[in-house]
Amino acid sequence: MQVIGLDVGFGFTKATNGREYQVFKSVVGEAAETQFNDQLLPAKATLGRHIEVGGEANYVGELAEQQSRGRGFTLDPAQFISKFARVLSLSGVAPLIDSNQPVRIVTGLPISFFRKHKDQLTQMLQQRHVVKLFKPGSPEWEERVVNVERVRVIPQPFGSLFNLMLNDLGKVTSQRFVTEKIGVIDVGFRTADFTISDKTKYAERGSLSTDAGISLAFTAIASALQQQSGVNIELYRLYEAVNKGTIKIRGKRYDISAMVRQAFQSLAAKIAAEANRLWADDWDIDAIVITGGGGAVLAPHMQPLLEGEVIPVPADQDARLNNVGGYWKYGMHVWST
């Protein structure tokens, strides 16, 4: 039995089997069908990003961003689950498993989509999927059967909590997360998720999803750039520019560092105010965990504004992987005997 953690985020898809990780942008596109196909495909592309699912060949992630004519990317939850989630999931999971062997998956959904989409996501995943994985930079492919026999869906921020609480064998190593009342703020690309774990029990009152993900700051940056350059930049093409603080559009370089700082500062203030308001009655919270890729970026701005002890995000880890790592550990916890 193989345990897989899977986090199909609006920004990035993440998957792990406990040993290796897959991380790529949640973008799906048509695979090219030219005679140059093999030479043009970057050989360093990862197995799984060129994948045939249900008879359709797709590029996924950065490969789709760079090579596909028709590209799909959405921040609409219903569309995301019905149109893209299957290809993104299989692109992440197929390279990590042994063909045909039973697979068990733990995955998560934002608090607000949990009730509505949990069964749909389970049904979509819990199947025997036959896919073709094309070898990067070559015309060869291999067939893989992703034989998913069980799926567990948990509220997204609990992934980060289990990541802190459990070790790689699925055993509890950090007692405070079992005995205390912990608030979790997970800032992703589209959503900011807030939840309270009271001695590991999910507390409805303190849980909420909002649209205050990093894309809100990116939207502000993209619209300022459009005014300056006349070019409408897709949000998923802004990560590198935001990191570097500069972007080149049609040969002209724009310094966006001040713009980025301001957009992040105001998003952080919005999220911190939301947390303080949501948890006003939960003054007995022991600690607050900030997580998610967006959480790592905003933490320095948020920390001074939050009322309570904040457990700092480890700087040496990719915070985008906190949830998926926890999903996998939780799978080990419930299924390894």
Ligand X SMILES: Nc1ncnc2c1ncn2[C@@H]1O[C@H](COP(=O)(O)OP(=O)(O)OP(=O)(O)O)[C@@H](O)[C@H]1O
Instruction: Enumerate binding residues for Mg ion (CB under 5 A).
Output: 9, 188
Interaxial angle between packed helices 257-278 and 293-302, expressed in degrees from 0 to 180 and rounded to the nearest 10: 80
The encoded tokens of residue 281 equal 């009655």
| Distance of closest approach, residue 291 Cβ to Mg ion, in angstroms | 9
Q: Cα separation of 7 and 305, whole Å?
A: 29
Q: Is the Cβ of residue 29 or residue 52 nearer to ligand X in the bound state?
A: 29
Task: Determine the Cα–Cα distance for residues 106 and 166; give it in Å rounded to an integer.
Answer: 15
Closer CB to ligand X, 144 or 159, in the complex = 159
The entry of Mg ion, ligand X, none that residue 158 binds, CB within 5 to 8 Å by partner kind: none
**What's the CA gap between 224 and 51, in Å, rounded?**
36
Residues listed for the chain: 337
Least Å from the CB of residue 11 to Mg ion: 7
114: partner contacted, choices Mg ion, ligand X, none (Cβ within 5-8 A by kind): none
Q: Cβ 172 to ligand X, closest distance in Å?
A: 25
Strand pairing class (310-311; 287-291): parallel
Q: Residue 5: which of Mg ion, ligand X, none does it interact with, CB under 5 to 8 A by kind?
A: none
Residues paired with 254 in a beta bridge: 247
One-letter amino acid for residue 11 of the chain: G
Q: Which is nearer to ligand X, 18 or 188 (CB)?
A: 188
Q: How many CA atoms lie within 13 A of 112 on its CB side?
A: 12
- For ligand X, the binding residues (CB under 6 A) are 9-12, 188-191, 213-214, 239, 292-294, 296-297, 318, 320
159's contact among Mg ion, ligand X, none, with CB below 5 to 8 A by partner kind, is none
**Closer residue to ligand X (CB): 26 or 68:** 26
Cβ 14 to Mg ion shortest distance, Å: 8
**Distance from the Cα of residue 220 to its chain's centroid:** 21
Q: How far is the CB of 201 from ligand X (least distance, A)?
A: 23
